[in-house]
A = this chain, B = another copy of it.
Amino acid sequence: MASISHRAQKLPASPIRKLGPYADAAKARGIRVHHLNIGQPDVATPRGMIEAYQSYDEKVLAYGPSQGLPGLRSAIANYFVKLGIKLEPDHVNVTFGGSEAVGFAFSAVTDPGDEILTTEPFYANYLGFAASTGVTITSVPARADHAFHLPSDAELEAAITPKTKAMIVCSPNNPTGTVYTKEEMERLGKICEKHDLYLISDEVYREFAYGETPTSALSLPCAHDRVIVVDSVSKRFSACGARVGCVIAKNPILLNVFMRMCFARLCPATVDQIAAIAAYDTPQSYFDDVVAEYTRRRDALVKGLNSIKGVSAPMPEGAFYLVTTLPVDDADEFAKWLLTDFNHEKETVMIAPASGFYSHAELGKHQARIAYVLEVPQLLRSVELLRIALDQYPGRRA
């Protein structure tokens, strides 16, 4: 029988989704599962966006321009202009979510066998795009006791090889919630200049910052030739199902490549883009309310986790995740056990073991990613369930 490709064999299973069948089985047994494992915000999508779907009324749902609707490219550029960044609609190519944008970026700057450097833990799906494009993700560990902030220049530069073509960073970070300071972003820009690397900056969580304002890589001096920004409406507007993102660059050679990539898959979805245009009209008060709500959740969650003996969780500065250290032999086993063997009054929690967010999986063996996309009372109950579960878990360690 014909074999499948080597690259297909390397495609990882999703660390976030692989526990799904166990959760389904738990639910089938009548157990309520509190989902701390997923990045699906529960806040309402802006009403104007929903109404844009409802107002769609064309005779023919036709192809749009390959690079995206002009109105959306303008809306995205204007959004950055308001942040003080000079950007033209022509710098923006609309994609199928941030996911396609990551794939475009990887494919544009690497050939099979090349490397992209990041810090770990990192967003697990980068590994999927790496497998598809034949790229190796190399990574420098970020330390939990430094709240996962940027390792030193020396550590990062030691990991750069002749095959390294780019760095990819995500700030605010999935899975750690870390927001890089302006100085950290500038350090990254300088390292990329020094070693002639592209800087792929995943900024989909920009709106979710609870202290320092995130610095866009587009504001760096090297932005005009080596920065590629990945962005999305998914998290910003709680519209993950719209699957509208973009890849942004100022370098005309990169823009030409992205244009041809856009041509090759014809165009993004038309109605979702119309809805996204409406989303960019969302008033600032929407974001103010969202940030206030997530700040309350973060504070409650971090306080609760750190009150459990043996658990430590750094205070994240952004996004809606954190990576916590757990007093367990193996977080993968613990996460599974929570669904298969544990319940307290017919309730349990689902967490994402951190091993899947590491190149060196063993570094995440005692860690889990917790998303705080639930309201405070449910988060507090989840923390309580974790506390009870850790008391009962046979693989608990001191």
Choose one: B45, B99, B109; the contact of A266 (CB below 8 Å): B99
Q: Report A108-167 residues with CB < 8 Å from chain B CB.
A: 108-112, 114, 125, 128-129, 131-132, 134, 165-166
**Across the interface, do B63 and A240 meet the contact criterion of CB distance under 8 Å?**
yes
Choose one: B13, B40, B56, B226; the contact of A62 (CB below 8 Å): B40
Task: Name the B residues within 8 Å of A128 (CB-CB).
Answer: 260-261, 263-265
Q: Report A221-276 residues with CB < 8 Å from chain B CB.
A: 225-226, 238-243, 253-254, 257, 260-261, 263-272, 275
Interface residues on chain A, number (Cβ under 8 Å):
81
Query: Contacts A261-B132, A266-B97 hold; do A41 and B60 have CB atoms under 8 A apart?
Result: yes
Q: How many copies does the complex hold?
A: 2
A13 to B253, CA, bound (A): 14
Task: Name the B residues within 8 Å of A269 (CB-CB).
Answer: 96, 241-243, 269, 272
Task: Name the B residues within 8 Å of A114 (CB-CB).
Answer: 5
Instruction: Indicate with 1 or 0, residue by residue over A161-201, a CB within 8 angstroms of chain B CB atoms.
Output: 00001100000000000000000000000000000111000
List of 6 A-B pairs having minimum Cβ-Cβ separation, nearest first: A128-B264, A241-B270, A99-B265, A14-B263, A11-B260, A243-B269
Q: 29 A–B contact pairs at CB < 8 A?
A: A2-B109, A2-B166, A2-B225, A5-B110, A5-B111, A8-B109, A8-B257, A11-B260, A11-B264, A14-B263, A17-B66, A42-B60, A44-B59, A45-B60, A45-B61, A50-B56, A60-B238, A61-B242, A62-B240, A64-B241, A96-B96, A96-B265, A99-B265, A107-B132, A125-B263, A129-B264, A131-B264, A243-B269, A269-B269
